[in-house]
Chain A
Amino acid sequence: MKVTIEVNGGPVSAEVEDRTLLVHYIRETAGLTATNVGCDTTSCGACTVLLDGESVKSCTVLAAQADGHAVTTVEGLTGQDGELHPVQRAFREQHGLQCGFCTPGMIMATVSLLEHNPKPTRAEVREGLEGNLCRCTGYHNIVSAVVDASGQEVAR
């Protein structure tokens, strides 16, 4: 079937197998490889993207379901002049990433979290990111990054 999905502001059209997952559409068809696949049970959140502004796990959405909708990946956050999005900047500033594999999904989940709760407490951040797994950081600095991105002071 033919689908057209707006990816990071530009339309991407392709003929795909019905069963094509959105994450594979993003990676293979749109050629944007930041979004990763970390599991096969919708558990890890590495594939988190925004679908019409809401965070979704793109391994559990068919490309067909996203037909006619807009997807934002971490590649779409950086400004035209290379300026980092506040969440990207905060992840670096707070050392909220190590190996980087969970990071694109974690950043997109954070963008969505802050959309819904602009000034979260650390406990709220932990609850909000429960669906995104990280094996490297012990989450401490991820929580700090989210708090930092929200414009709140971080006690290090």
Chain B
Amino acid sequence: MSISGTRVLRVEDHQLITTGGTYVEDLREDALTGAVHAMFLRSPIAHARITSVDVSEALTAPGVVAVYTAADIDLAAGSAGPVGQPWLADGVVRYVGEPVALVLAEHPYQLADAAELIDIDYEPLTAVASIDAALAGETLLFPDTGSNVMQARGEFDETAFDGCEVVLTRTIVNQRVAPAPLEVRGAACAWDANGRLTIWLSTQNAQIARTIVAGGLGVGEDSVRVVTPDVGGGFGAKIGADPEAVVLGWAARRVERPVRWTETRSENLTSMTHGRAQQNTVTIGGRRDGTVQAFRLDVVQDAGAYPRAMFLPTLTELMASGVYHFPKVEAASRAVVTNTTPIAPYRGAGRPEATAAIERAMDLFAAEIGMDPAEVRRVNFVRPEEFPYETPTGAVYDTGEYAGALERVLEAGGYQELRAEQARRREGGDPVALGLGIATYVEITGGDAGGESGRVDINPDGSVTAYTGSSPHGQGLDTSLAMLLSDRLGIPMDRITVRHGDTDEVPKGIGTFGSRSLQLGGSAVRQAADQVIDRARELVADLLEAAPQDLELNVEHGAWQVRGAPSSGSVTWAQLAGQAGAGTLSADVWFGDGAPTFPFGAHLAVVEVDTLTGKVELRRLIAADDAGPVVNPLAFRGQRHGGLGQGAAQALLEVMSYDPDGNPTTATLADYSFVTATELPDFELVDMETPTTRNLLGVKGIGEAATIGSTPAVHNAVVDAVAHLGVSHLDMPTTPLRVWQALAEARKAN
């Protein structure tokens, strides 16, 4: 019987619940014996000229081994062009948190003592602390470029909304948030006697990190080994390697000792990349019967101080029209630099912003024409028979059943009952208002289309070692891949080991991001298993003196036999592998034809808003998330839960804030509203499975989907709760203050 599709407890868990994972800071490798500890001194000012640097006193502090600043770094520039971030700030600092100096000391406690003695004079420059300030262009971050706009794409057709009965425009802020994985960034590195660097790095992809680190250090990729130990969450912000990793490798070479680094949480909140940070202007036009005829999305991406991920607004453009078949869709984007922490992917990476924009726009349109938001969506969905569906912005959706997802959550949630309850409260003047929010979404997974590596070895004892270029860090992929292989090979899961994250073991790979791992990494190991089976068939044919096509693998017993004649003998994997010799039953593949897939779903959020205080309580969150066939429902549901929590957190609470001078005001976990257990409800999951044809497994990614749907569902619910009091929109996060202010303004306007 197939175990895929059944709930299987994770092979990862035993260590994590008994002795704890082995994260970078836990490493006790011999190669790290005698390591010095590192700390980056970071800019306390958003925008300033560095006028003098004096490290002499710090060098005399107890335990200090070295202090380095930009003048010491003899590496070629890391990023190409005039807007790349220097390894350490050179002449100018452009955000609070930018690394300015590196301190090395014998004991971690000595680092902060020494860093306090570094004397740096800053001459403040005007800070560009918002998108509006960046667009105004009075102060430029990179004067040589002549503009704060680093990328501008697309144009609009002036006549796009001609003939529409209703046209609405609204600017929607998709606020900056902090990825905040529980494990902050960390690294440890050591050069060996042959001039080869091993760097243990908390990253989502060892192989790409190797390319970045080797490139930064100016050495060949053969001279760098990246090892990924257990990683305590990434959420996109640990893709690749940050400049700090290169500086640490450089420093280890310079002092000829291993170096270890773990940032502090407060450092992490300003120095690890942030996510989202878009300001999106939507224009939606259509008829009063609910038909949307034209949609326009104008994206402004705050890229932070150094542009790192210019594909984010591009992805937002691509997904602009969401789950709808609109005759006319146009999207354009600009990306600007500001004196804030650089922006990079965060769980969803460009797609949540698109979904938030269109889903708010649909609700605005529904409110304007006086139609239920569910009904407006029904009128405009791409229909099942239209797939594959090419959107006006160029995405080709594979499969979907958008109306089906919506109807399922409305039924599960008791939508009509909830609407009736809402009406009763409104009529009765209940100060606690009920709000219902719908979001229907489609997103793109494996969107990089870069493929993935997979290798399967049958060991001489009949056990299996599989290698993947994916790099799981909490997703449970070890378990999912072992399940797939067990089903395919007929070998029990406890005889299957999945390896990843060490570039010496897995030289080729792309890693884990964009919800790509199962559809690409899973397809790769499946393809490798198929090749091993083909090879085995030939070998068994010789052993049993039968024709290859007459042989079958009995997956119940993990043995080969002649089809229809099991009594004529069988060969187990162990027998076969023992005879075949090392390396024979092995296949190493690159699954490269994995086109992107488009998971979809519908979420319904139910909130209560205390109209006297503005306090919002998320009461229910009901979610249908369709990512095709499910390998391990345990992990699948866990990914959805996590996504729902993070997505709801953005709508309700979380924002990374700056004051007008570019000082972060939420730079510790005491200030940043990291969502807790008390602010979230139990989640209600509705299952549906619509396969894709674009990979061997028929699966789509699930890592980000629930984040994408839940943010606008909760956001729409809060607005819906107070709509009868004259509020048509308020931006996220929907904090009590914001809701209270919106209510006060609406009262004044009436």
Contact = CB atoms under 8 A, between A and B. Distances in A.
A117 to B, nearest CB: 15
Interface stretch (B5-13, B320-328, B499-507): B5-13
A60 interface: no
A133 interface: yes
A98 interface: yes
B682 interface: yes
A93 B235 CA distance: 24
A153 interface: no
A103 B16 contact: yes
Contact of A99 (B9, B182, B676): B182
**Helix, strand, loop or mixed for chain B's interface?**
loop
B265 A38 contact: yes
Interface in B1-42: 9-10, 12-14, 16-23, 25-26, 28
B670 to A, nearest CB: 4
B103 interface: no
B387 interface: no
Contacts of A152: none
Contact of B668 (A41, A78, A92, A131): A41
A134 interface: yes
Contacts of A130: 676-678
- Measured as residues with beta carbon below 8 angstroms from the partner, the interface class of chain B is 35 or more
B17 A95 contact: no
A75 interface: yes
Interface in A76-126: 77-78, 84, 88, 91-93, 95, 97-104, 107, 122, 125-126
A43 B474 contact: no
Contacts of B17: 74, 84, 88, 91-92, 97, 100, 103-104, 107
B20 A99 contact: no
Contacts of B26: 33
B16 A97 contact: yes
A55 to B, nearest CB: 15
Candidate in B22, B183, B474, B677 with the most chain A CB atoms within 10 angstroms: B677
B174 interface: no
A138 B680 contact: yes
B401 interface: no
B236 to A, nearest CB: 12
A91 B22 CA distance: 18
A101 B233 contact: yes
Contacts, number: 178
A154 to B, nearest CB: 11
Contact of A137 (B23, B473, B638): B638
B182 A138 contact: no
B375 to A, nearest CB: 30
Interface stretch (B81-89, B252-260, B432-440, B639-647): B639-647
Nearest to A35: B20
Given A91-B17, A97-B13, A137-B638, A41 B669 contact: yes
Contact of A43 (B183, B184, B642, B670): B670
Nearest to B108: A24
B217 to A, nearest CB: 29
Nearest to B180: A135
B232 A99 contact: yes
Nearest to B9: A92
A101 B668 CA distance: 19
Interface string B181-209: 11110000000000000000000000000
Contacts of B25: 33, 36-37
B203 to A, nearest CB: 13
A142 B476 CA distance: 16
Interface in B633-663: 634-635, 637-638, 641-646
Candidate in A39, A46, A104, A141 with the most chain B CB atoms within 10 angstroms: A39
B639 to A, nearest CB: 8
Candidate in A95, A131, A142 with the most chain B CB atoms within 10 angstroms: A95
Contact of B669 (A19, A39, A103, A127): A39
Interface of B: 9-10, 12-14, 16-23, 25-26, 28, 109, 180-184, 230-233, 235, 262, 264-266, 473-476, 634-635, 637-638, 641-646, 668-670, 674, 676-678, 680, 682-683
Interface of A: 17, 19-20, 33-44, 46, 74-75, 77-78, 84, 88, 91-93, 95, 97-104, 107, 122, 125-127, 129-143
15 contacts: A41-B668, A95-B10, A95-B635, A99-B232, A100-B17, A100-B20, A101-B182, A104-B17, A126-B678, A135-B235, A135-B646, A138-B683, A139-B677, A140-B680, A140-B682
